Amino acid sequence: MFRHNTVLHALAWWALTGSAALAAYPPTGAVNDPARGWDRLWHEVIVDISVLGVIFAAITAWFVIRYRRRDPAQEGGSFKLTTASAVGWALIPTFVFMADDFYLAAKGWALWNDYRSVPAERLEVQLESGMYSWDYTYPNGVKVQNELKVPAGKPVLLRMTSRDTIHSHFIPDFRVKEDSMPGRVTYLWFYPEKPGEHIVTCAEFCGVMHSYMVGKVIVVAPADFTAWYEQEAARLAKQSAAKPEA
Amino acid sequence: MSSWKEWIFTTDHKRVGILYLIGSMAAFGVAGLMAILMRIELSSIGPTITADPSNYNVWLYFHGAAMILGFQIPALTGFFANYVIPLMIGAKDVAFPRLNALSVWLFYAGIVLALLTFVIPDPPDVMWTAYPPYSTITRGNTAFYTFTVLTLGFASILGGVNFLTTVAYMRAPGVTWNKLNIFVWCTLAAFVLQLIFVPVLGTAVTLITFDKYLGTHFFDPLQGGDVLIYQNLFWFYSHPAVYVIFLPFIGVVYEIVATFSKNPVFNYKMVVYGGVFGIVAISGVVWVHHLYVSGMADWIRIGQMVTTLMISIPVGLMVIGLVGTLYKGAIDFRAPMLWALGVVFLFLIGGLTGIPLAIPSLTLHLSDTYYVVGHFHYVMAVAGTFAIFGGVYYFFPKMTGRMYHEGTARWGFWLTFIGVNIVFWTMMSIGVDGMPRRYYDYAHFPQFLRAHQLMTLGASLIGVGFALAVINWIHGAWKGEKAPDNPWGSRSLEWTTTTPPPPGNWAEVPKVAEDWNPYAYGQRR
Ligand code: HEM
Ligand SMILES: [Cu+2]
Ligand SMILES: [Cu+2]
């Protein structure tokens, strides 16, 4: 009875959360910030594994203290399991673990969908990584190195590739990274809500100077961004006008 | 000097085993030294003991590769399997003793190749994973990595063929499959995994050397290759490899816990058919959890999230079997048992902290940080090493005919235990805060300075603790008290022969009673 219900619950839970997550897309209106979702899910998973850990540790500690050997000739006194209880001891934990697995999988999948569905209203930037710099190109052709300036309040999508080895564009504050590699295009997005600066650091061993491959995401007020963006665009236009076509 | 020739040309499984132990401990020592060097380097921001990041990268390469391929796998499937399995099943030796000798020679050749890292002008600096394109363009000598892996892998394949045959055909009469020691089952499973998956690793590392030295383009996208194929092949082996380590080490822990609780293994069939078989069944379909941030297709990341989480089932059953064995036991806290209980605790932390890493959406933040490094040291590196040290203490009287010093063994345990928790808990904590792995320097993360210094301190405790154990063994083997044949009062067959066992192990084939099993301790029925 118990086993049966657990599985059914788990499956139902899984199906529900999963389809709810799917039904929520494409998102309407407000931006669903995956970084917030990350913090929430992380917290839940930590509670989940702490409960399991404390239960197992407490039982182990209790056995170890309670059943110390008192005289040297003493032997253990555990019962021989009947077939039914042996099977029960295998199946019940199996279904309990499986229920927890499916529960976490459903949660993880829902958050995954947030991470992978990019809001339509966004700033889209191309990134080419190389030993050892982050080279960004804005839609209007403006290029920057290592310092990505973005307006607050607008999701940013990075389309990434690499010109040499594999790097990984990691922004700890936004709880996101994805590898950039030659011959493939990957993507990630994040939601810079407020003005501020956020470290970008390389998370895939890419060469001797891997630990010095640092950059910044600089979030500025939308008006400041627009001013800067147009000024850079104008400068770019002047440059290419000055240069004769090759 | 005929005596050292007797060792080099030996075909006796016990001597082959001891040779494996000495070689793998040497690898552990050098790789441990590299860990200490890394920890010293990281104790301040900017250059500390070397100004060249390449040096750090070579230390890290050697540390990872040697700890896994030169220490843990050979100590578990070379030393323990060789020394113990024939004794546990009541056999005179292994099925192919000469193949066994070849296997240990290859192992030493692999260790020498690995140690050449410190001699050649451009040592490999590719980390133990050797991802292309870096491994195909570096100045470092990737070929040494490839040949080390191939040599050690081949040694292990020979061991696999040998032990599967030995256990299938050489069990003493009455030692049936359902009376095999848990350690024997675990090691068989580990060898099945080695036989299936090592060839895949061999292919992967051979192809990077082809790309680098022969001008092929398997992993070069400009010429139609693909960088991700390597990662898939590599982890297709290297995830199962963690079970090649896990299974035998938890097997050793089972032996120790049963003996020092004087209790039968709790729910033996659940442990074998649910735990060991379950792990073998799932181990080949979870490798993508190492590629969660590598741009693999979404469906396979989600699919392998589910399979990865399901690993908790067989592993959980094995932990339940272990804890259940303590229930109503007569528990004796000798040194081997202390180390074994340490494994239970460390593995619990390691296993549970793996659950967030099974979930791709959480891994988008955690991947390639110190959280991962802390987690896998708990679950495999340190838990496995504790099991190996506990196991060596456990079989020490049988191997050497002498006892180690109990007090020193305890001191070593506690120092190490405190040290590893300081180091690896701190690693997980700064990892969650964003500290990436494989960093020679962390100038842009000055907030982690104190934590790094704390870890360097913890690492020195670990160093002293392990050194005490090794000193204890050397001293005990040389000057310890004489040991009786069965100092722990175990029912398992390996303790029924004399100490140390003669060539051939028993004067005649051991006979076991109808109701014998290796864990037949005072059961009420
Ligand atoms: C007990 C003392 C040990 C200490 C203090 C230690 C310390 C470290 C440190 C500092 C790193 C480098 C982190 C980084 O820069 O990313 C590392 C990496 C590693 N360690 Fe250990 N370690 C120890 C034992 C072991 C053992 C017993 C194993 C056995 C499997 C092991 C396997 C590894 C592996 C596979 C890596 C990753 C290498 C890579 O990134 O390519 N360690 N360890
Ligand atoms: Cu990098
Ligand atoms: Cu894995």
Reduced to 3 states, what is the DSSP secondary structure of residue B85?
A: helix
pLDDT band for position A3 (cuts 50, 70, 90): very low
A97 to chain B, minimum CA–CA distance in Å?
6
Cα angle value B407/B410/B413 (rounded, 5°): 150
Fill in the amino acid letter for A96. V
Q: Which candidate from A80, A108, A208 shows the least CB-CB separation from B361?
A: A108
**Residue B461, both tokens:** 């405790």
Highest mean pLDDT among A160-169, B6-15, B516-525: A160-169
pLDDT of residue B334: 93
Q: How confident is the model at residue A244 (pLDDT cuts 50, 70, 90)?
A: low
Rounded distance between C-alpha atoms, residue B199 and residue B206, angstroms: 10
Terminal Cα-to-Cα distance of chain B (whole angstroms): 57
Residues B67-85: pLDDT tens digits?
999 999 999 999 999 999 9
- The residue among A171, A146, A141, A167 whose CA lies nearest residue A235 is A141
Q: What is the mean pLDDT of chain B?
A: 95
Residue located via tokens 């070849």? B102
Q: Which two structure tokens, joined as six digits, stand for A3?
A: 């086993």
> What is the predicted pLDDT for the residue at B157?
95
Relative to beta strand A147-151, strand A214-220 is parallel
Q: Going from the N-terminus, what domains does chain B have, and what CATH number goes with each?
A: 9-495 (1.20.210.10)
Q: What is the model's pLDDT at position B5? A: 86
Question: What radius of gyration, in Å, describes the C-alpha atoms of chain B?
Answer: 23
Size of interface A-B (CB pairs under 8 A): 266
Work out the average pLDDT over B203-230: 95
**pLDDT digit string, tens, across residues B325-374:** 999 999 999 999 999 999 999 999 999 999 999 999 999 999 999 999 99
Nearest CA-CA partner of B346 in B225, B253, B207, B265:
B253
pLDDT digits (tens, 9 = 90+) for B143-174: 999 999 999 999 999 999 999 999 999 999 99
pLDDT at residue A80 in the model: 81
Report which of B81, B60, B202 is spatially closest to residue B125, judged by C-alpha positions: B60
B267-278, pLDDT tens digit by residue?
999 999 999 999
* Surface of B (142-181) touching A: CB under 8 A: none
Is the per-residue pLDDT at A6 higher than 80? no
Position A26 pLDDT exceeds 60: no
pLDDT attached to residue B522: 77
Q: Which of B221, B316, B341 sits opposite A182 (nearest CB)?
A: B221
The answer to whether ipTM exceeds 0.90 is yes
Share of chain B above pLDDT 90, in %: 95
Dump pLDDT digits (tens) for A213-243: 999 999 999 999 999 999 999 999 998 887 7
Strands (E), A66-155: 123-130, 133-137, 143-145, 147-151
pLDDT value at residue A81: 87
Whether residue A110 has pLDDT greater than 50 = yes
Q: Is the CB of B469 under 6 A from ligand 1?
A: no
Confidence (pLDDT) at A31? 86
Nearest chain A Cα distance for residue B332, angstroms: 6
Ligand 1 atom with minimal separation from the B420 CA: 1
Confidence of residue A245 (pLDDT cuts 50, 70, 90): low
**Average of per-residue pLDDT across B84-94:** 95
pLDDT in tens, B108-123: 999 999 999 999 999 9
Q: Using alpha carbons, select from A201, A195, A196 the residue that is nearest to residue A215.
A: A201
User: How many whole angstroms from its chain centre is CA B202?
Assistant: 19
- Beta-carbon count within 10 A of B129 CB: 19
B336 CB-side CA count, 13 A? 24
The domain spans of chain A are 2-70+80-116, 123-242
**B residues 103-142 lying closer than 8 A (beta carbon) to A:** 125, 127, 131, 133-134, 137-138
How far off is chain A from B254, nearest CA to CA, in Å? 14
User: Does residue A5 register a pLDDT over 60?
Assistant: no
Contacts with A131 (C-beta within 8 Å, 6 or more apart), sequence order: A164, A165, A206, A207, A209, A213
Most ligand 1 atoms within 8 A of CB, residue of B37, B57, B63 to mutate: B63
Centre of ligand 2 from the C-alpha of residue B409, in Å: 42
Confidence of residue A49 (pLDDT cuts 50, 70, 90): very high
Backbone angles phi, psi at B490, to 5 degrees: -80, 155
- Residue A74 to chain B, least CA–CA distance (Å): 6
The pTM of the full predicted model, rounded to 2 decimals, is: 0.93
Q: Where do the DSSP E strands lie in chain A?
A: 123-130, 133-137, 143-145, 147-151, 156-162, 167-171, 176-180, 186-190, 196-202, 214-220
- Residue B2's pLDDT is 55
pLDDT at A15 over 80: no
Is domain A123-242 given the CATH code 2.60.40.420 in the classification? yes
Is B29 at the interface with chain A, CB within 8 A? no
Is the CB of A184 less than 8 angstroms away from the CB of B295?
A: yes
What integer is the mean pLDDT of A139-168?
96
Q: Is the CB of B475 under 6 A from ligand 1?
A: no
Phi, psi values for residue A196, rounded to 5°: 160, 180
Q: Tell me: pLDDT of B302 over 80.
A: yes
C-alpha to C-alpha distance for B168 and B157, rounded to whole angstroms: 17
pLDDT confidence of residue A8: 44
Q: Which residues of B touch A89 (CB under 8 A)?
A: 266-267, 270, 320, 324
Question: In sequence order, which residues have a C-beta less than 8 Å from that of residue B515 and are 6 or more positions away?
Answer: none
A222: preceding bond cis by omega (within 30 degrees): no
DSSP code, position A133: E
CB atoms B306 and A202 under 8 Å: no
Q: Cβ of B523 and A78 within 8 Å? A: yes
Q: Is B517 on the interface with A (CB under 8 A)?
A: no
